[in-house]
Amino acid sequence: MTPKMAFLGTTVAFVALTGAFLSSMGAVRVEVKSKQPGGEHVRVIAPGVLLPLGAMLVPKAKIHEAAHELQPWLPTVRAATEELLRCPDGPLMQIDNRQEHVKIAKIGDALVIDVDDAGETVHVTVPLRAAAYACNRLAEEAQAEPEATGRQPI
């Protein structure tokens, strides 16, 4: 095997492994379209792996504070996320009235939220694995000692 072939093989393997890693947590998609004349249209698509990585950039004190506030809800969110991963695809909730239309569904390994009202249309896709990771991270932080985060006990 020539050095060029070895380099090419290594590069292909690296790209394939990186792609598999990035796709393992899916993609977060947020799209907001304003219905106002001259309104804005914002679209953000990011690999789900950025959620846990982004959480690492948040100061420990802020994560601990958020975890403490969310602590009573974390077991419920964790259980719901785990069950959603196991349940079949389909609609979970739908609201239709004169002012708005809201639909929440599970599609693949993602929670998909669509909202359409007089002012804007919003579409959000959240990978459930990334949400489960974030929930577990917050639960761990809620159990951490305040001294480890730089906060003083109340």
Tens digit of each residue's pLDDT (9 = 90 or more) over 115-141: 999 899 999 998 888 888 777 777 777
pTM for the model stands at: 0.67
What is the three-state SS of the chain?
CCHHHHHHHHHHHHHHHHHHHHHHCCEEEEEEEECCCCCCEEEEEEECCHHHHHHHHCCHHHHHHHHHHHHHHHHHHHHHHHHHHHCCCEEEEEEECCCEEEEEEEECCEEEEEEEECCEEEEEEEEHHHHHHHHHHHHHHHHCCHHHHCCCCC
Tell whether the model's pLDDT for residue 149 goes beyond 60.
no
Q: What is the pLDDT of residues 80-112, one digit of tens each?
A: 888 998 999 999 999 999 889 999 999 998 999
pLDDT above 60: residue 146? no
Is residue 152 pLDDT above 80, yes or no?
no
Mean pLDDT of 9-33: 70
Distance from chain centroid for Cα 30: 10
